[in-house]
């Protein structure tokens, strides 16, 4: 088994290079590894003898090279990583391997490489199985979450459908018996007011059964109840939802879910008007939660 790797995958912060960096960043062992170690393990998992072998093979990789099943590839990567571990090292190998975004690789992006480009292999995007999160995806995900019976995940999903930003829902906590969020850009600060009507009974049930005390976060870190769920942990939850619903994990984000709602466009206009933004990009950055340049009036 060998996964085809192309020159585009070896550009800095792209494809293979980005996977190797993620493997290095998420390494949680007493014995550290270097970037070279991560690249070697990943290359062997993809079916090559070494990173050098992978690099050389990428120069002559044929556009129509077959791609092995993703499950087989992840299993092979896991086996290669095991060989890097030292005695006594502990690692959540399954989670580490499953979290690797293989869709960063050209081979897994369902692209057809233009034959006219020769070995420069400039990809010509012909089709994608999933190019954007759709309302059909949302319906499938909602059904799966309802069947799973997990109130916390359903409450998180309801907040996203209520168009709360990740920073808002993660900062939400109990205050005087009500659930409030930290960033107030609407007429109300009550989380329940943002939840779609059909999800409110479930959300209220989540609050009731969780027995939150005043000041407690609605979505708490698993290993530190006094702290909110992190952005990283929220991303991992979305990845787990994507797997259950057979959705490209790269498409399923809190912001992408918000964009599928009916009121999103109106909400963007509301932000622009209330914040005095002249640029739509500024409003979008604010909605996503990215830092924006602004002057402070004292």
Count of structural domains within the chain: 2
Can you give the residue range of the structural domain that contains 43?
A: 7-124
Q: Which residues contact 252 (CB under 8 A, 6 or more apart)?
A: 133, 137, 141, 238, 239, 241, 242, 245
Buried-state track 141-154, b at ≥16 Cβ within 10 A, e below 16: bbeebeeeeebebb
Position 236 scores a pLDDT of 85
Domain boundary among 72, 94, 124: 124
> pLDDT tens-digit profile of 225-238?
788 888 888 888 98
At residue 224, does pLDDT exceed 80? no
| 288 belongs to a structural domain | no
Q: Are residues 120 and 146 in the same domain?
A: no
Q: Are residues 141 and 252 in the same domain?
A: yes
Q: How confident is the model at residue 46 (pLDDT cuts 50, 70, 90)?
A: very high
The predicted model gives 133-144 an average pLDDT of 89
Position 16 scores a pLDDT of 92
Q: Are residues 244 and 162 in the same domain?
A: yes
Q: Are residues 270 and 141 in the same domain?
A: yes
Q: Which residues contact 22 (CB under 8 A, 6 or more apart)?
A: 99, 100, 101
Neighbour count for residue 63 (Cβ, 10 Å): 18
At residue 241, does pLDDT exceed 70? yes
At residue 284, does pLDDT exceed 50? no
Q: Which residue has the higher pLDDT, 3 or 127?
A: 3
Q: Is the separation of the CB atoms in 1 and 72 below 8 Å?
A: yes
Average pLDDT of the chain?
A: 77
| Pairing outcome for strands 173-175 and 178-180 | antiparallel
Q: Are residues 164 and 61 in the same domain?
A: no
Q: Are residues 83 and 190 in the same domain?
A: no
User: Is 23 exposed, middle or buried (CB count within 10 Å of its CB: 0-12, 13-18, 19+)?
Assistant: buried
Position 282 scores a pLDDT of 44
In Å, how far are 209, 212, 214, 225, 255 from 106, measured between CA atoms?
46, 46, 49, 40, 25
Q: Are residues 48 and 22 in the same domain?
A: yes
- Whether the full predicted model's pTM is greater than 0.85, yes or no, is no
- Could you give the CA distance from residue 67 to residue 2 in angstroms, rounded to a whole number? 8
Domain boundary among 124, 147, 165: 124
The predicted model gives 63-76 an average pLDDT of 82
Domain boundary among 124, 157, 183: 124
Percent of the chain at pLDDT > 90 equals: 21
| 117 belongs to a structural domain | yes
At residue 21, does pLDDT exceed 50? yes
| 66 belongs to a structural domain | yes
């Amino acid at each position: 088994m060998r996964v085809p790797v192309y020159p585009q995958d070896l550009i800095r912060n792209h494809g293979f290079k980005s996977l190797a960096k993620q493997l290095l960043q998420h390494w949680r062992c007493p014995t550290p590894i270097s970037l070279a170690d991560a690249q070697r393990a990943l290359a062997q998992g993809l079916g090559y003898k070494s990173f050098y072998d992978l690099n050389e093979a990428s120069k002559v990789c044929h556009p129509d090279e077959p791609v092995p099943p993703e499950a087989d590839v992840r299993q092979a990567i896991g086996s290669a990583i095991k060989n890097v571990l030292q005695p006594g090292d502990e690692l959540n190998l399954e989670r580490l391997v499953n979290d690797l975004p293989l869709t960063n690789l050209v081979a897994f992006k369902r692209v057809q490489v233009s034959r006219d480009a020769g070995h420069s292999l400039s990809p010509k995007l012909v089709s994608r199985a999933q190019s954007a999160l759709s309302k059909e995806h949302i319906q499938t995900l909602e059904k799966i979450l309802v069947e799973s019976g997990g109130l916390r995940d359903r409450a998180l999903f309801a907040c996203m459908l209520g168009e709360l930003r990740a920073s808002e829902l993660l900062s939400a906590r109990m205050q005087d018996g009500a659930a409030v969020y930290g960033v107030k850009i609407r007429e109300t600060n009550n989380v329940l007011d943002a939840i779609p009507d059909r999800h409110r009974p479930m959300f209220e049930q989540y609050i009731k059964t969780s027995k939150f005390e005043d000041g407690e976060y609605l979505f708490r870190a698993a290993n530190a109840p006094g702290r909110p769920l992190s952005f990283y942990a929220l991303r991992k939850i979305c990845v787990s939802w994507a797997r259950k619903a057979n959705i490209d994990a790269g498409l399923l984000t809190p912001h992408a879910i918000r964009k599928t709602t009916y009121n999103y466009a109106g909400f963007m206009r509301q932000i622009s008007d209330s914040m005095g933004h002249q640029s739509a990009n500024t409003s979008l950055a604010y909605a996503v939660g990215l830092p924006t340049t602004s002057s402070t009036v004292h």
